[in-house]
Structure 1
Amino acid sequence: MTTNHHRADPGTPLLLGTRKSKLAVAQASWAARRITAATGRSVNLVLLSSEGDESDAPIERFGSTGVFVTALRKALLAGKVDFVVHSFKDLPTAPEAGLRLAAVPVREDPRDALAASAGPPASLGALPPGARVGTGSPRRAAQIRARAPYVTVVPLRGNVDSRLARTETGELDAVVLAMAGLSRLGRLNAVAAPLEPGIVMPAPSQGALALECRADDAPTAAALRAVDDAPSRLAVTAERAFLAGLDAGCTSPVGALAVPDGEGGALRLDGLVAVPDGSSVLRRSANGPAATPAEAAALGRRLARTLLADGGADVLAAQPQATGGADPRSRPVHPSQPIGHG
C-alpha cells in the first residue's frame, strides 16, 4: 500500500477520487464543498473509470457486487487519491482490507420517483394500461410489476439525462430514478411523483454517500469526520445490516428504510424482498434502540431473521443467478460478523 504522507499537511489539497459520470461528479463536488467549509481544507477531484460505467449490460449480469466501486478502491489503495466518494448503495456490505468508512454525510431524500422530461404521470396508478416504464433496477422493477401489473417494465441503463431523453421521444412513458440523484443534479423539476416507500421501497442506504479513506491515514480520516452525520450513519447501518443478514447482493430485489421512531435514538426499520417478476413481495418491520452502530446493526439483523423465517428465504431462493464468477471479497458478510463498512 502506498501512502502519500506529504498530503497530511493541512495546506496541501486532498485528492478525491470519483467516477466520471455527471451524477458522480456532482456528488463528489458536493462532498468536497462540505469538507472545505467544515475544515478549511481544499479538495481536488480526480476522475476515474469503473467497469460499471464502461458497460451497457444489465447490472445483474456483472456477476458480482461492487461493480461501480472497485476501480476507485484500487486507486485509493495505490495512494493515487486520498479518499473516494461512493453512492452508499453501490458498496458491498463486506469490508475491504486496508480501507475505512470515514464519513457518511447528511443523507438526501431516499425515495424513488417517476420522472419524465415532458411531465411525468401524477402517480404510478395514473399510468394507463400498456404504459412503458424504464428502470435498470431489479428492485424497482419487481415492485412496479407487483403494484401495476398492467404496465410494461423496460430494462434501462445510462445516466440520468439519457434515461430522461427516452421519455422525450415517446419510447418510454416514464422512468424511475432516485430523488437524491435528481436533487444533486438540479433536476427535481423533472419529478412529479415521488414514490412513497409503501409503494416502492428504496434500496438499503439509498440517498446516502460513503466517504472512504485508507485505514492508516488518520489525518484524512479526521478531516472527513467533520462532515459525518450520526443519524444518517445509524440509519444506513441498520439498513445494510438487514441486507447483509439476508445474504443478498446489491442487485437483488431487496429494499430497506430506517426512520426515527420516537425519542432516544430509536429507529423503525422496514424491509422488503421480492421475486423479480413481482409475483411475490414480502415486507416486514421492526423497531428498537439504535443510538449506537452496534444497536443499529442488531436491529437490521433482527429484521433479516424475521423476514427470512416468514418466507423471505423462499423468495430469495427464487432469484435468478447472475452470470460470471463473483469476487469473494464482494460477498455480503454473515449476520454474525461485524458489518465493517456499514
Structure 2
Amino acid sequence: MSEPHVQRALRLGTRRSRLAMAQSGQVADAVRRVTGRPVELVEITTYGDTSREHLAQIGGTGVFVTALRDALLGGEVDFAVHSLKDLPTAQPDDLALAAIPKREDPRDVLVARDGLTFTELPDGARVGTGSPRRMAQLNAYARSHGLSIETVPIRGNVDTRIGYVRKGELDAVVLAAAGLTRIGRIDEVTDFLPVDMVLPAPGQGALAIECRAANTAEDAHLVAALSELDDPYTRGAVTAERSLLAALEAGCSAPVGALADLLGDGQIVKEMRLRGVVGTTDGSTLVQLSTTGPVPETYDQAMALGRELAAEMLAKGAAGLMGERAH
C-alpha cells in the first residue's frame, strides 16, 4: 500500500545516550502524527558526551548542544531535540525553538540502597550527584534538619549513576524524575524530593524542539508543523525560569534552582508563582525567594517575571554565591 508520492523523511538530530534516544523517539512519534511524514533519528556525538571532566569544570552551558546545532545549521538534520535545561539561555537568531511540549514531572528523585528515603539515610551517607545545584540544596536541608550527609560528585549516564548504589559505592544518587520516567525506570525511585526541599534546574523535565529559523518556505513550513506540539503553559513557565537564570548571569553548571508553577482555584488558573534558589555547594548559605504574578500571556511577560525575581535575589546577595560567572 505504498503512497504514490512519499515525502522525504524528516531527520531528527539526537544525542546518543539512552535517555536522549528515548526522548527523541517519543518526539519522533508525535512529529509523525502532526506532519504525516516519516522521521528518522540521526545520532550525533557532543562534547559533553565524550569529555570525562565534571560538568562544572567544562562549563556546563551548551556542551550537549553545540554539535546538534552545528548539524542543524549545516543541513545534516532538519530538527533536534534537547533537554531544555541543557540549552544556553541566549537563543541564536538563526535557530527557532519551535516547540516546548508539555513538561514531565520536574522534581528530583532519590535512588537509595535498601529503599531508603532521604531522611532515613544514615549519618555520613554518601549521596552522588553531578549538580552543584543539588549539592547546595541537599546540604542546606541536611544542615537545617540535623542530618549528616556527604555529597559526592559523579558523572555518567543513568545506568552508571544507579550502578554506584547497586555496587555499594554510594548510599544514594539524585536524578531527575523526568529522565527515569522517559526510560521506563521510575519504579527504581525510593524518594521523590519535594520542590520545597530541592528546587529543580530551570527547565527541568521539559524538552525543546529546535529547527532552523523560518528563512525558507520549507523551514517555515516545518516551524509551523512542529509548533503544534507546543504547550503554552510549559513554555511560559520555563521562559520565566530561564529568564531568572540569565539575569543571574549563571550557566547551567551554577547552583541555581528555579520552578514556575500555576496557581488556581479549582479549574481556573489565576497566577504563576516563580521560585528561585542559589547557594554555596556546602549548603551553608542559601538565597531562596519567590514571586507571584499574572499568568504570562507573552514571552516578554514571562521574561519580566524571571528578571524581577533575579533582581530581588541579587539584592539579597545571590551574586556572591555562584562562584564563576558565565561570560
CA distance in 2, matches of 1:156, 1:113: 16
Deviation for aligned residue 1:239: 0.4
Aligned to 1:261: 263
Residue 24 and residue 112 in structure 1: after superposition, are their counterparts in 2 closer, same or farther (change >3 A)? same
1:281-300 equivalence runs, <5 A: 281-289=286-294, 290-300=296-306
1:221 to 217, 220, 223: 223
2:8 to 3, 6, 12: 12
**Structure 2, unpaired ranges of 5+:** none
CA distance in 1, matches of 2:58, 2:321: 21
> Counterpart of 1:148 in 2: which secondary structure?
helix
Letter of the structure 2 residue corresponding to residue 37 of structure 1: R
- Give the share of equivalent positions with the same residue, in percent: 53
Deviation for aligned residue 1:71: 0.4
Residue 265 and residue 200 in structure 1: after superposition, are their counterparts in 2 closer, same or farther (change >3 A)? same
1:104 aligns with 2:89: no
1:114–1:120 CA contact under 8 A, matched in 2: no
Aligned to 2:285: 280
Aligned to 1:194: 192
Q: Deviations over 1:262-289 (max 9, x none)?
A: 2456200000011122111110000112
Residue 36 and residue 119 in structure 1: after superposition, are their counterparts in 2 closer, same or farther (change >3 A)? farther
CA distance in 1, matches of 2:37, 2:287: 46
Letter of the structure 2 residue corresponding to residue 287 of structure 1: T
Q: Deviations over 1:154-181 (max 9, x none)?
A: 1110000111111111101110000000
2:62 to 61, 66, 69: 66
Aligned to 1:340: none
Q: Deviations over 1:228-265 (max 9, x none)?
A: 11111111001001111111111000000000022456
Aligned to 2:51: 55
1:27–1:184 CA contact under 8 A, matched in 2: yes
CA distance in 2, matches of 1:205, 1:222: 23
2:89–2:246 CA contact under 8 A, matched in 1: yes
Deviation for aligned residue 1:153: 0.8
Q: Deviations over 1:200-239 (max 9, x none)?
A: 1100000000111001211211121111111111110010
CA distance in 2, matches of 1:279, 1:303: 22
Deviation for aligned residue 1:195: 0.6
Aligned to 1:252: 254
> Counterpart of 1:45 in 2: which secondary structure?
strand
Aligned to 1:83: 79
> Counterpart of 2:115 in 1: which secondary structure?
coil
Higher relative contact order (Cα pairs below 8 Å, separated by 6+ residues): 1
2:101–2:207 CA contact under 8 A, matched in 1: yes
Aligned to 2:153: 155
1:120 aligns with 2:120: no
1:166–1:172 CA contact under 8 A, matched in 2: yes
Q: Deviations over 1:182-208 (max 9, x none)?
A: 000000111021111111110000000
2:293–2:305 CA contact under 8 A, matched in 1: yes
1:232 to 216, 231, 234: 234
1:39 to 14, 35, 42: 35
Aligned to 1:315: 321
2:81–2:209 CA contact under 8 A, matched in 1: yes
CA distance in 2, matches of 1:63, 1:307: 23
TM-score (norm 1): 0.87
Residue 119 and residue 34 in structure 1: after superposition, are their counterparts in 2 closer, same or farther (change >3 A)? farther
Deviation for aligned residue 1:130: 0.9
Letter of the structure 2 residue corresponding to residue 229 of structure 1: D
> Counterpart of 2:89 in 1: which secondary structure?
coil
CA distance in 1, matches of 2:157, 2:31: 26
Deviation for aligned residue 1:57: 1.0
Higher deviation after alignment, 305-314 or 230-239: 305-314
> Counterpart of 1:226 in 2: which secondary structure?
helix
Deviation for aligned residue 1:106: 0.8
1:105–1:229 CA contact under 8 A, matched in 2: yes
Letter of the structure 2 residue corresponding to residue 142 of structure 1: A
Residue 85 and residue 100 in structure 1: after superposition, are their counterparts in 2 closer, same or farther (change >3 A)? same
**Structure 1, unpaired ranges of 5+:** 1-8, 332-342
1:243 to 228, 242, 245: 245
Aligned to 1:303: 309
Letter of the structure 1 residue corresponding to residue 238 of structure 2: V
2:59–2:251 CA contact under 8 A, matched in 1: no
Deviation for aligned residue 1:119: 4.2
1:92 aligns with 2:88: yes
